[in-house]
Amino acid sequence: MAELTPTDIVRLNITDTGTEKLFTDEQLNAWLTQYDGSINRATYRALVTMATSTVLVSKKIRTQDLTTDGPAEAAALLALARTYKDEADADDAAAGSF
């Protein structure tokens, strides 16, 4: 079994594992570079980006047999993103860096 790369782990965290990827490897690697290799911070940024896209594209819509709630989905993504940021902050505090 091949060893997972940090990019692979970010993909797993955000469930970007289907045949049509939400983000390119280059995009995920850019966040990993921006955050000094922190998988949790790169995951956080990817989830925030997904939430932003959801808010911009998906509105709250109700029809006779269909309901979508983009703002609620975005809020759930942001709450999940916060857990990764909090974990990264805790890791940094334990390592004595910010």
What pLDDT score was predicted for residue 97? 64
Radius of gyration (C-alpha) of the chain in whole angstroms = 15
Question: Torsion-angle region of residue 15: left (phi > 0), alpha (psi -120 to 50) or beta?
Answer: left
10-residue mean pLDDT profile of the chain (98 residues): values are 93 95 97 97 97 82 81 92 96 82
Q: Which of 8, 3, 4, 48 is nearest to 28 (CA)?
A: 8
Rounded Cα gap, residues 77 and 81, in angstroms: 6
